[in-house]
Structure 1
């Protein structure tokens, strides 16, 4: 046994066969931690820590890294990354190599920033999930501020909803004073804020003093008023107790004498107009759900399935409200009466400015089973009285539906099916529920949506310079398999079998999985391109590579012997064990002599 091991070690040129028994993820993690075959160095953070990695792995996981590290404009070694903390970048790389990341309160914001910078959707989702599930009254304002900074509208809405529900406690937290003016206004202007107006006023005073200090101003009534600007009118002074107003509010001298008199009069004459100050009581948690049905009846029509269908509606409300979601009409495949898989994207903008409404952009897969499908926003969208909104929905029908294979008498025949499209019938322009009224108008496509549909490129794709962001959403194994199947960034070619099939692969992955391949493909004596492998069947070699990239392999009676030979030649213990297990479990009386001969060989 000792002689056999020694021969293998001498053949490979490595005494320590560290690859032995490791999965592809374990091999990648080990190569990152031990800096094996690294070919790029990053200078990270303020302390300029040197962190090594592999160009190939980073390019497989991020279209931004692919643009940075490959091609004619490739950045060379010692790439500066001053805006990310080294510990955060270490965790970031760990995810790119293993799909595993450790998120905590100290690194979540940095990881969110890195994920958006390098377009790593997997980390971004984990960070957002962590932040949403870890909200506390003491730090929700900090999370909201970061969501605002990184333009995470859904997280922003989640934070606002939490603040509205826990207003009295949040307004007294230290982190409330750290909000920027925009976020501060979003909190105190909300009718939904569940807090006493005394708490709102006191929080405004504390925030204004903190803002004066941030701006290097002396804390005076004039400077407090100056940093508050128009937001001072969001305090509902007329809902305060008159005694509190006289003893607390007047004492701050933040309001002018005329403003104080106007508000004092409102205590005597409750219906008196005190604009520009708001006078409406906050509603807190009180909500009434209302469903608006524009159409009286439903119709349907038959049509070939278009790749993309765009629909939209313009509407306004006669009061402030929160939009939870909407309904779209469904589809069915004719003659099958089966549900249809569709990709739905939606967004809403204000018609007067054409600006996107915060939190309204959604994208999800839906399955249409009947006449309508309910679609909900992650968080309710706050709508303003009498303002017109333009809701646009884009539905892409799955390619499987567009190419249905229907069974005929003598086999399968590809057909393009008709679909049933449900539509509304007998619509009205105004729908009322008691005092609540929703008005509908002629639809006009938003300009920002026209640009997006014309280009069919996301902002991240434009930024990275790649229209096809194939890395998006793929795991490590999925990215490796895709790179092998599509021959992306391959740097070695094998001439395999008697038919001399040309098979491309990547030196890094093969070297990290086999000490024999490492000896062959790296170092000063490395074999160059077009490496001859005449003694292994090409199908068997394809399966060998598939295992090295994904830990998945298909073994059957036709390839088991070839794979067993290849596993021994390249010292891949896991394939060898799988082959022996298959042979032992599949042995029959008429095969036993053949198997014994192969075992002897």
Structure 2
């Protein structure tokens, strides 16, 4: 499988043993909880809420139904980050400073590392009172906090930002190393586990050489990149042995 759509649950009906790739157990959920188990948990929660409501108010309704529709929300968020004027953060990625846009409220709440980056960028480049006065009523939504990102491929970083905003990602042999490094640096445990599982499955299908090729740019730039390669080599030895 060359592409893995990760939409927490990350992989449906596909239970993989993380230990096969010999990664550390970081105590975070991989998103593999079954829909049945989750529904049962929601049901229990709803029941307790209903019973508590009865005690407090005899006239309270005894039936509660939770309805969730996240697909349209994800699509809307993905559309927002495709429109620079609706974003307030601009990452300048790689040697060519390719712009990748985001929304600081989402970035900051999803990752403490992004929060710190944004806060530091705001401190270093405050918008002057003079520029605010000049803009006046004609002020647009195109003012961005600019942050330079030099240690990622633009396409990989854009996919990372997409995951942060929308909770879904396309993992490929060509970008799994970059996404793994991003997940490690910005503390995104679900994405990190998804990258591990994809790598394990892809190596079983004979794609190890392609994955290793994609890691070359990250070996000297990220500690996680070196660890990623070490685990791949270790898995190769165990398979050959």
Q: Structure 1 length as normaliser, TM-score?
A: 0.22
**1:86 equivalent in alignment to 2:177:** no
Residue number in structure 1 paired with 2:139: none
Judged with a 3 Å threshold, the aligned counterparts in structure 2 of structure 1 residues 50 and 142 are, in CA distance, closer, same or farther, namely closer
Shift of 1:45: 1.2
Judged with a 3 Å threshold, the aligned counterparts in structure 2 of structure 1 residues 38 and 138 are, in CA distance, closer, same or farther, namely closer
Q: Unpaired runs of 5+ in structure 2?
A: 1-70, 126-144
Query: Which of 119, 128, 144 is the matching residue for 2:187?
Result: 119
Residue number in structure 2 paired with 1:68: 117
Shift of 1:159: 3.8
Residue number in structure 2 paired with 1:134: 202
CA RMSD of aligned residues (A): 3.4
Judged with a 3 Å threshold, the aligned counterparts in structure 2 of structure 1 residues 162 and 53 are, in CA distance, closer, same or farther, namely same
> Matches of 2:174 and 2:159 in 1, distance apart?
12
Tell me, yes or no, if the aligned pair for 2:173 and 2:210 is still in contact at 8 Å: no
Query: Which of 165, 188, 193 is the matching residue for 2:239?
Result: 165
More helix by proportion, 1 or 2?
2
Q: Unpaired runs of 5+ in structure 1?
A: 1-21, 167-193, 195-601
Residue number in structure 1 paired with 2:224: 150
> Matches of 2:152 and 2:228 in 1, distance apart?
24
Shift of 1:96: 0.8
Residue number in structure 2 paired with 1:37: 86
- Look at both structures and tell me which one has the larger radius of gyration over its CA atoms: 1
Look up the SS of the partner of 1:102 in the other structure: strand
Judged with a 3 Å threshold, the aligned counterparts in structure 2 of structure 1 residues 46 and 141 are, in CA distance, closer, same or farther, namely closer
Residue number in structure 1 paired with 2:96: 47
Once the two structures are superposed, the pairs formed by residues 121-520 of structure 1 within 5 Å of their partners are 121-135=189-203, 136=206, 139=209, 142=212, 150=224, 156-157=230-231, 159-166=233-240, 194=241
Tell me, yes or no, if the aligned pair for 2:181 and 2:225 is still in contact at 8 Å: no
Judged with a 3 Å threshold, the aligned counterparts in structure 2 of structure 1 residues 127 and 75 are, in CA distance, closer, same or farther, namely farther
More strand by proportion, 1 or 2?
1
Tell me, yes or no, if the aligned pair for 1:68 and 1:75 is still in contact at 8 Å: no
Question: C-alpha deviations, 1:280-317, integer Å up to 9, x for none?
Answer: xxxxxxxxxxxxxxxxxxxxxxxxxxxxxxxxxxxxxx
> Matches of 1:30 and 1:88 in 2, distance apart?
18
Q: How many residues align?
A: 146
> Matches of 1:46 and 1:68 in 2, distance apart?
19
Q: Structure 2 length as normaliser, TM-score?
A: 0.51
> Matches of 1:56 and 1:154 in 2, distance apart?
31
> Matches of 1:43 and 1:137 in 2, distance apart?
31
